Amino acid sequence: MTHLTMDQLLELDEPGLEPGTAQARAHLTACAACRAEYERLRQRQARLRALPTLRPARDRWPVVAQRLAVERRRRLVQRAAVAISAIAALLLLAVSLRPAAPARDVEGFAAEAQIADLMERSRALEAAIGAAQPDQRVVDGRTIGVATDLEARIADLDRMLEVQELDAPPGRGDMQRVQLWRERVGLLNALVDVHVTNARNVGL
């Protein structure tokens, strides 16, 4: 009698009916040796399933977490780059659809930047004058005269700037405003010299 092979024994537990399985089952019923072999196979499989769970010697989570963080940063940078590219493309499109705009816009941006800088310098100079407390100092008549003249000219410039801000149409008169602010800074510098440094050095 030919005993069942290992393939045939394993096939007995597989789902579905392979050709020859019914015949193998019949043989198994009749053959004690094959039944013993089949039982040993099943026991071996049960012992495999009962083997202890192996555990890692090291904690690998910090490495995984670090890789995830790097991956997340990389994705954020990619998204930001895509967003910036999209915005740049839209701006370019908008500019290209308005042919008259670029030259004026560039000039306007430059003027605004200069005015912002001059305004900041004006504020700093006014702060320096305020810190010197000129009203509480004893000064000679010439110094008072020079300071009064400077303050009057600054007041004139302020009125002109106010008119420019209110009346000039958007985008026009930018360079005039820059010029007015420059003059204002110059006068404030002179006033600082009068109050803080030395009124005799002001050559007005």
Partner 1 sequence: MESYPLANAESVVARARSGDPAAFEALYRAFESPVYNLARRICRTTEDAEDVLQETFFEVCRSIGQFRAEGSLWGWIRTITASKALMRLRRNKYRDADELPDEVPSAKREDTALRMDLEAALERLGETSRAVVWLHDVEGYTHDEIAGMMGRTASFSKSQLARAHVRLRGWLGEESAS
* Sites of contact with partner 1 (CB under 8 A): 3, 5-7, 10-11, 14-15, 33, 36-37, 40-41, 44-45, 47-49, 51, 53-58, 60-61, 63-65, 67-68, 71-72
| Cβ-contact 124, 168 below 8 angstroms | no
| Cβ-contact 177, 167 below 8 angstroms | no
Q: Please give the radius of gyration of the chain, using alpha carbons only, rounded to the nearest integer.
A: 46
What is the nearest approach in angstroms of partner 1 to the Cβ of residue 10?
A: 6
Nearer to partner 1, 11 or 174 (CB): 11
Residues making up the chain, counted from first to last: 204
What tokens appear for 102 in the block? 């670029």
What tokens appear for 191 in the block? 């006033």
What is the nearest approach in angstroms of partner 1 to the Cβ of residue 57?
A: 7
What is the nearest approach in angstroms of partner 1 to the Cβ of residue 18?
A: 10
What is the nearest approach in angstroms of partner 1 to the Cβ of residue 116?
A: 40
**Does an H or E element contain 31, and which?**
none
Nearer to partner 1, 57 or 103 (CB): 57
Nearer to partner 1, 63 or 152 (CB): 63
Residue 131: phi and psi, rounded to 5, are -65, -25
What is the nearest approach in angstroms of partner 1 to the Cβ of residue 5?
A: 7
DSSP state of 96: H
| Cβ-contact 150, 204 below 8 angstroms | yes
